[in-house]
Amino acid sequence: MEEKIVSGPYGRFNLEISTGKLAKQANGSVVVKLNENILLVTAVASKMKKEGQDFFPLTVDYREKYFATGKIPGGFFKREGKPRDREILASRLIDRPIRPLFPDDFINETQIIATLFSADGKIDTDVLGVIGASASLMISDIPFKGPVGACRVALVDGQLIDSPTFEELEDADLELVLAGTKTTVTTIEASANEVSEEDMLKAIEFGHNIIRQSIELQEKLISQFEIKKMEYEPFVIPQDLKEKIKELTTERLKVLNNIFEKQKRNQEFDKLVKEVLETLKDEYEDYVGIIPSLIEDNRKEMIRERIIKEGIRLDGRKVNEIRKITCEVGLMPRTHGSALFTRGETQSLACLTLGTASDEQVIEDLEGESKKSFMLHYNFPPFSVGEVSPLKGPGRREIGHGFLAEKSLQAVIPSEEIFPYTIRIVSEILESNGSSSMASVCSGSLSLMDAGVPIKCHVAGIAMGLIVEKDHEPVILSDIMGEEDHYGDMDFKVAGTREGITGLQLDTKIEGITIDILRKGFYQAKEGREFILSIMEKTISKPREQLSQYAPRLIQFTIDKDKIGLVIGPGGKMIRSIIEKTGVKVDIDDTGKVTIASTDLASGDEAKRMIDSLVKDIEMGEIYEGKVTKITNFGAFIELLPGKEALMHISQFSHERVNDLNEHLKVGDKVSVKVINVDDNGKVNVSRKVLIENNNPNQNEGEQKHHYRKFGRKDYKKDGS
C-alpha cells in the first residue's frame, strides 16, 4: 500500500495525518503528527461476533512510551508498566466520542490502540488520539458513522487559544477538551476558575471550528480510498419475539415504573424477567440470553415516552425537579474533616486528611516529575448498588470520576502560601442511584469547610440528562437517576459556585447534540446548582476557624539554602535527631523552606529552636550557655550551638590566675560565656571572666546581673541598657 499523507491548518498549528507506512496489518492505521508529536493509532475488529454475545465489546487504550521524550523508565525493570492515571483518562477521552457512532447491530470485538512515539513535552496529545481513532476507523473496513474531530481550548488573559501548551495552561482560567462531528458535540471535559455559562459556550463554539478543520483533513484522506466496509452478521432479533415481550411485560412495567424506591423496583423487575424467561425458554431457546435486554428495551421505551408526553419521571418528579437533599458535617471525630451528602438514593461520605509537603503525590510523566498537593479519590464499593463483587484497585470509572470531582474543587483550593497543607479527600460512595461523582463534589466541598480549609465558597455539582425523540422537543432532565442515565441520551455533569462553572463533563449516546441544546442545559443546570448550594450553605457556610485537634500544626520559615546541609547533617544524622527528640515531621525543600509538622505547638516550637540554633551565625557580644566538650592545658572547648564550638583560653576563665582548668571544669559542665572574637576563618573565642565581677570570682550563673536567653540572644541588663 502506498503511503498517503494529508496536512492542513488545525487552529494556529498545522496537522498531518498519514497512512500506508506503519502497522499495515491492522484494519486501519494512521499516524497523526503535530509539530514533533507523533501518535500511531490503530483500529482492529474481529471478523465474527462471539457466540451468545449481545453487547458491543469496544476497548480503547492510549499508551505513552518513555522513549518518546528520550527517557528511560524508572523502577527495577526499566520498562513501561501498567497504565498511569493520565493514560487511563486519555483512553476514556478517546472512547467516549467514538462509541456512539458504531452501528447498533455491530457487536464484533473492536480495539483501538493509540501509541505516542514522539513528544515535544509542550502540549497534551490526548486529543490527537481522538482524531487518529476516527481516521483509522474511517479508512478501515470497520463500520463507523464518523468522522469526529477533537481539540483543546484554553482561556488565557481573556483570550481563547487552541492547542495550548502546558506553560500556557498554568495561567488559564479555562481548559476545555471538545470532541464532535461537523454539526454536533459528542464529548466535553473542562476545568475552570468560575467561568460563566456564556464564556463556556463561546469556548465551545470556538473549539467546534477547530474540530471542523480536523474533520475536513480526515475527509481529504478518506477521499483517496475506495473503502468497502466489512460484511458482518448483524445482531437481529425476531420481530415476533419483540412483540411477545411487549405483550407479556407492558402492563407489569406500567406498575413497576410507578415504584419510586430503586431496590423494590429492581426486585420487581428481576421477578418479571424470571417469569418471562420461564414462559419463553422453550419457544425461543436460541434467544434466552437476550430476553432480559429486550425487556429492558421495552421498559426504556415506556420511560422515555412518559417523560416526553407527560413530563413525569420514574420517581414522579418533574423534569427540572431535584431529589431530596440532606447534608451533615463532622461525623468522624478522628478525621481532620468529614461530610455526608445524600441526594435521593445517592450518598457520598467524604473524609479529609491534612498532611505536609512530604505527603504530596509525586507524578512521573514524559514531561518530567511534578507534585500534587490536592487529591480527591473516589471509591465505589459493590454494596453501594446492592451487588456482590471482589474488591480490587480503582478501575477506569473510579479514576475518571475522582478526577472530575477533583478538578471541580480545584478552583477554590487555597494556594500554598495561604494554606501550606497537602489535602486528600476520599469520597466513599455508600449508596448510588445516579450522579455519584457530583455528590462527591458536594461532600468534598462540605468536608473542606468542616476541616477549616480556607475555601472562599462552596462548590456543588449536578448531573443533567436528555431525552430526544423524533417529532418531539428535546427534554432536559435535572439531577438524573441511574436509570435515566442508562436510558437517556446524554450525561451532562456541571459543577461550580454561585459565580461560575469549575468542572464539566458531557457524554452522549446519540450522534451528538447541538449548541442550542447545550445552552438550555447550562442554564437549567445553573438553577439546580444554586438550589443545591443553598442547602449546603445552611449546613456550613464558612470554614471552621480552628483545624481539628488531630490535624498537624505547621510552622514554616526559610533558612539559607547553603545551610541545608547543617540541618540535615552527615547521612541525615542531625535531622533524624531533631525528629526523634521532638516527635515532629520536618520537610526542607531545595530553596531552604522548612516545614515543621507537629501534633502540638510546643514540640513544633522546640524543633524550630533546634533548627535555628544549627543555622544561626555566632556574633560578637552574644552570650551563650555552652557545654564543655574538651579541656586542654591552654583552655577549654565550649559547644555554643549544636555542632559549633568556641575556644575559651585559660586566661578567660577567671580574673584570678588559673593553672589547671581541670580543677574547675569537667567535660559536660555547662558554663556561661560571651563571644569576644570571631576571626575571618570563623574561629570563635569566648570569655567567662567578662561576665564575672572582679571582686567576686566565685559568682555563679544565678547571681549574675547580666540576664540572657539561650542560643544567641544578645546581652541586656535589667534596666534595658
Binding site, annotated residues for Mg(2+): 485, 491
Cβ neighbour number for residue 266 with a 10 Å cutoff: 16
Could you tell me whether strands 585-588 and 337-343 are parallel, antiparallel, or unpaired per DSSP bridges?
unpaired
Q: Peptide bond before 697: cis, by omega within 30 degrees of 0?
A: no
Q: How far apart are CA 94 and CA 129, in angstroms?
A: 6
Cβ neighbour number for residue 103 with a 10 Å cutoff: 14
Residues at the binding site are 485, 491
Torsion of CA 352, 358, 364, 365, to 10 degrees: 60
Beta carbons of 89 and 83 less than 8 angstroms apart: no
Compute CA 83 distance to the chain's CA centroid, rounded to the nearest angstrom.
16
Q: How far apart are CA 376 and CA 410, in angstroms?
A: 10
Could you tell me whether strands 374-379 and 422-431 are parallel, antiparallel, or unpaired per DSSP bridges?
parallel
C-alpha cell at position 403: 478526577
Beta carbons of 308 and 520 less than 8 angstroms apart: no
Torsion of CA 465, 470, 472, 475, to 10 degrees: 0
CB under 8 Å to 231, separation ≥6 — which residues?
Answer: none
Burial of 190 (0-12, 13-18, 19+ CB in 10 A): buried
User: SS3 for 608?
Assistant: helix
Cβ neighbour number for residue 435 with a 10 Å cutoff: 28
Q: How far apart are CA 495 and CA 504, in angstroms?
A: 6
Give which of 406, 634, 441, 427 is closest to 529, Cα–Cα: 441
Q: How far apart are CA 638 and CA 648, in angstroms?
A: 7
The angle, 0 to 180 degrees and rounded to 10, between the axes of the packed helices 197-222 and 126-139 is 40
**Residue 349's beta-bridge partner residues?**
340, 428
Beta carbons of 586 and 549 less than 8 angstroms apart: no
DSSP letter at 714?
A: B
Give which of 140, 174, 138 is closest to 158, Cα–Cα: 174
452: left (phi over 0), alpha (psi -120 to 50) or beta: left
Give which of 400, 364, 489, 365 is closest to 91, Cα–Cα: 400
Beta carbons of 224 and 14 less than 8 angstroms apart: no
